[in-house]
Amino acid sequence: MHTARIIVHGRVQGVGYRAFVADEAERLGARGWVRNRADGTVEALVGGGTDLVEAMVAACRRGPRMAEVTRIDVLPADGEPLPEGFDHIRAMF
User: Which candidate in 5, 11, 18, 31 is catalytic?
Assistant: 18
From 1.10.1040.10, 3.30.70.100, 1.10.510.10, 3.40.190.10, which CATH number describes the 2-79 domain?
3.30.70.100
Q: In whole angstroms, what separates CA 80 from the centre of its chain?
A: 15
User: Which candidate in 11, 36, 65, 90 is catalytic?
Assistant: 36
Q: What is the pTM of this model?
A: 0.89
What does the alpha-carbon distance between residue 85 and residue 93 come to, in Å, rounded to a whole number? 23
List the chain domain ranges. Answer: 2-79
Is 36 in the active site?
yes
Is 65 in the active site?
no
Could you list the pLDDT tens digit for every one of the 93 residues in the chain? 899 999 999 999 999 999 999 999 999 999 999 999 999 999 999 999 999 999 999 999 999 999 999 999 999 998 887 777 777 665 443
Answer positive or negative: Cα dihedral of 40, 56, 87, 75. Answer: negative
